[in-house]
Every structure is written in C-alpha cells, then in structure tokens.
Chain A
Amino acid sequence: MLAPFVLLFVAFSIYPIFASFRLSFMRYNAICDEELSPCGSVRFGNYYRLFFEDDRFHKALLNTSYYVVGAVSLTIIASLMLAIALQADTKSNRILRVVFFLPSVTSSIATVLVWGWVFRGDGVGLLNGVLAAMGISPVEWLATPALAVPILVLMSVWGGAGYGMILFLAGINSIPTYYYEAAMIDGANPRQRFRYITLPLLKPVMTYVGITSIIGAFQIFEGVYLLFPTSVGSVGGLQDMALMLVPYLYDQGFIHFRLGYASAIAWVLFGIIFIISLINLKLSKSFEDLR
C-alpha cells in the first residue's frame, strides 16, 4: 500500500537529487554525440568555474542574498504586524484577512504581469502615471539596477505577508488566555504582554515561517523571468540586475542547455538552503534550551 507513493517518491524526488549531483561533475547536453558534443566528467570543473570564474553566478548569488534577507525579514515583520492588527474577531477583520491572503492564492504569473505594468518604465505605467499626476517625471523602475531587488522584495512581501499572517494568527490564538489574564493581574502593559508572552510563545511559528519563507524566497523565478527579460537568449535584466539562482539555473540549463553546469548551480542552491535550515533549527533549539 505504501508502494505507489514510495516508488514515485524515489523516482521523482530522491533519485533526481543524486542524479543531479552526478551531473554536476559532468559536461552534459543530453545529445551526447560522440563526435560533435561529447559528454563526460569534468571533475570539479563546474564548481571551480562557478566559484572562481563565473561573474554572472556571483551576481546571482549576491542578488539572491539581498533578496532573501529583505523578503524574509520584511515578510515576517509584516505578517506579524498584520496578525496582531487583525487578531480581534470582528467582521471587518475577517474581510481584511481575506484581502491580505488573496495574493497567496492568485496565479503568480497573473500578479507578476500586473506588477509589470505597475512598474512600467514609460509614462503609461501605473506608478509613473501617479507620479506624472504629481508632476514628477517617469522613473525607469525596471531598468535601474538599484531598484531591481527592492521591487522584487516588495512583490514578495505583498504576496507572502497574508500567508505568514494566518500562521501567526493561529499561533496567537493557540496561546491560552489565562497567561494574559495572569499578566494583567500582575499589571503588565500591552507592550510587556506582547514582549514577554506573545513573542516567546510564537517562537516555533516564527521558526516555521522563517524556514518556509527562506526556502520559498530562494526559489524566486517568475518575477525575474517576466519582469526582467533581456534580449534573446538570457534572463536577468539589464546588466543582470535581477539575476537570481533559479533564473540562472534556468538560463544555463534550459536556455543554453548546459545541463551539467546547471546541475552544479542546483546543488549550490541545495547546499545553501540545507545549511540555512540547519542553522535555523539549531538556533531555535538552543533558544528553547536556554529557557
């Protein structure tokens, strides 16, 4: 009875991890014509190139780091604030929760396309239209390298805050009320109650939201692919200003068909996420031990 799941799981979830590890040490384009395009081992060549020679990869890594730090921290803060603001069970709050949650269930391509128009660089973009109404000349939103990551962070917070909010709300609701009652008897003010009751008890939720949103943030693709196109045959926008790890994986693997090299990128991505998850778990564990 376990067989259907386990077979599929091994074939499409476990095997690919190891297969891509093997590929990451190879030059591989799947055609493998012995004469014209041989495939074979390059030992650590792919990784060497990634870490020491490939400027585009370094750019992708840097952009992704900025993005993950910005998106994850702001999403957590925003969703916590929303959860607190909307925790009372009133009719208007219930509606607002739905509104804030909507982006999580809306087609990501659709939302990216709308944002693309909001940030259009010429006069007809929504934001530039608003600026024009205020007499400010249009801003080249999607062609200004310094703005690329912040725009993607904004989109991510917009899209992800509602999801985190629900988790935090559930966390807050599961805190027994008598903690607060006891604190109120002791004369704790709302800020203290938040600081010493709500926040510590939300730690597990915080860890969960943290890990899932870090993993999610590392996988950003649609926004980069659709908002920052380049001329034929590449992704990442002007000067790779929005290039990130998964788009670069796509670029190398499925635009240039360098499957071995792209597998090396995939494994670097895996390594980073694995280490961060471990650190996150360790940290939250050690916090618990301290208490």
Chain B
Amino acid sequence: MTIIDQEEFVPKDTFDAGGFSSPFEKRSKWSKLRRIPLYLTTIIMVAPYYWMITSSFKSVQELQKVPPTVVPNKWLLVNYFNTNFGNVNNNSTDPSNQRGLFQRFEEVQFGFFHYVLNSLFIVVTITVATMLISSLAAYVVSKHRMKGKRLIYLTIIGSMMVPWQVGIIPNFLTMSNLNWLDTYWAYIIPALPKAFIVFFLVQYLSSIPDELVESARIDRASEFTIWWRIILPLLKPAMIAMMIFASIGEWNNFLWPMIIANSPEMWNLPVALSMLRNNGAGNIGMQGIIMGASLLASIPTVLLFLVAQKHFIRGIALSGIK
C-alpha cells in the first residue's frame, strides 16, 4: 500500500541521482588536471586494502622483503591453510612453517569460523530485535496522544549526546549481577535500546500523515495491526537503512565484547582478531595470517554496503539533513 511516494521526502540519492549537474562543472582540460590530487588521494585510500589483500597471499619469506613486493611473487594460501604444518617429517625447525588461519583457534568448534558465526548470530539477533522494538516505540511516540510522551522523546534525543562509554561500568556490573558475563545475553540485551534509531524513525514517521492511522483506528484495527500492516510497510526504506546501520556497527563492535567475553567460545570476530594480533605481535610471520583474518572480517560489511548502498546512503543523508 504505497499511498505516498517515498521519493518525495527523501533527498536526491547521492549515488544514483540522475540529471543533477553541478554548477561548477566545466569540462575543460583545467578541470581534469584539478582532479589529479583527487586521484592521488584515491591511491592512499585504496593502498591499505591492497596491502591487506596481497599480504595475506604472500609467503612468510616474501613478507620480510625490504622493500616490500607490490605484487606477490606467488599467490599462496599458506596464511589461510598450511598443508605442510604438522607434517612429521618436517621436524618443525623452520619458523615459517606455522599454522594457517583456519588451523588456529583449535579450542573452539569450527576454529576461525566459530567467530564468523558468533558475530553473525549476534548481529542478526540484535538488528532484528532492535528494529522491532524501535519501530514500536517510534510509532507510539509519533502517532499516539499520550501523557509524558514529549518527555520520553526528549530524553531519547538527549541521550544521544551521552557517549555510551559513560555507562560502560554500570552496564558491566549489571551483566555481572545478572550472571550474564560471558554469555550472548551480555552482547544482545544492552545493545537493544538504540536512541538514534528511534529518533530517526520518529522523524521519518512525522512526514507520514496521521490520517492514515486515524482511518485505520476508525476501522477498529488493533494497534499491533496498525503497526504491522500500516506503519512497518511505510517505514520500510528507513528500516532498511537503519538495519544496515545497526548491523555494521555491531559487526565492528570491539570494546564491549572484549570486556564481557572471557572464554574463547564467546568472542566475536573483532576480539578474535585482536587476540590473534596479541599472540603474534612480535612475529613477522603472523602478519600474513592477521591480514587474512582482517580481510575475511571486512568482507561481510563491505558486501552488505555494496549490495544495499542505496538505502544506506539515503539513511545517512537523511540523518544529516533533518
């Protein structure tokens, strides 16, 4: 039921907008020359990614070359899986003959992929749950007449000014008192109330006419039905933007997981990455493995972004305009 054309109240899409031509645009040689610094900057932007990807396919010996090689001499998978390791004839006298990434983290089921699954589970659960409760809250705040509503909304907005680290110690103690340390609960429950998402959804809903809801109420639809049947479909673009927003944030979350997760089974991907680094800090041979793990940890969010960039960018842009 698309009664309103959503395009009306979102700004021009910054990636796919067609037809907008810049007032500065002049197709001259000069303007092309002016883009040289831009291309140089682009190289700086891409260099770390290039380095991360190529390093993960280099041999330990090649990683130690000074100056470093730009293209791997030979693309190898040893940093991911070293088929030579544990070979009894090898006598383990070669320091570069070490476990690959997928041969590490042996104490947990599935090794490295345990952390991929952990992160996936946590992110999906948080995102789905937080979207449900946030959209409910946004609906009530935006479309209900209720005492104290304004106060609640102002508190929500105000809390966005508070860095979350302010509450990190009490939240840690709460987790400890609930006996939730080192469980998924500690990951999920405190991450559910996200003021920014409610704020964003309320903003979005405010541009949807109240009559829609009113007429549904006259038809005696229950509040849940209105939320599920009318509000959610209308909120779809905003919800998708916020879902991506929340999931990327949670995927990269590090400080809180590091504090609440003790046992290796409970780490998420960033914590596992930092452990890999802590263990291999001094060892040049570990760098290829660390780069490989970094690459794998980056792929999901980058993919998600590339697939859904339109929604994501629109969400960010909206948040800045309002």
Contact = CB atoms under 8 A, between A and B. Distances in A.
Are A and B in contact, CB atoms below 8 Å, in the complex? yes
Interface of A: 1-2, 4-6, 8-9, 11-17, 19-20, 23, 30, 84-89, 94, 96-103, 105-111, 113-118, 123-124, 126, 128-130, 132-133, 158, 163, 166-167, 169-171, 173-174, 177, 180, 184, 190, 193-194, 204-205, 208-209, 215, 218-219, 221-222, 225-226, 229, 246, 249-250, 253-254, 259, 262-263, 266-267, 269-270, 273-274, 277
Contacts of A133: 67
Interface string B240-261: 0000000010011011000100
A241 B175 CA distance: 33
Interface of B: 11-12, 14-25, 35, 38, 42, 44-49, 51-52, 55, 63-68, 133-134, 136-137, 139-141, 146, 152, 155-156, 159, 161-174, 176, 189-190, 192-193, 195, 198, 223-224, 227, 248, 251-252, 254-255, 259, 269-270, 273-274, 277, 281, 284, 287, 290-291, 293-295, 297-298, 301-302, 304-306, 309, 313, 316-321
B interface secondary structure, majority: helix
Given A12-B193, A170-B317, A226 B166 contact: no
A232 B284 CA distance: 20
B159 to A, nearest CB: 5
Nearest to B287: A117
A132 B67 CA distance: 6
A86 B298 CA distance: 25
Given A97-B14, A167-B316, A109 B38 contact: no
A interface secondary structure, majority: helix
A180 B63 CA distance: 54
Given A158-B45, A169-B14, A113 B290 contact: yes
A279 B249 CA distance: 28
B306 A98 contact: yes
Contacts of B297: 107, 109-110
Best-surrounded residue of A85, A86, A269 (most CB of chain B within 10 A): A85
A180 B140 CA distance: 42
A222 B68 contact: no
Best-surrounded residue of A1, A111, A190 (most CB of chain B within 10 A): A1
Contact of A269 (B44, B166, B251, B319): B166
B6 to A, nearest CB: 16
Q: Closest 5 interchain pairs by CB?
A: A16-B167, A170-B317, A110-B294, A19-B170, A5-B137
Contact of A270 (B24, B137, B166): B166
B28 to A, nearest CB: 12
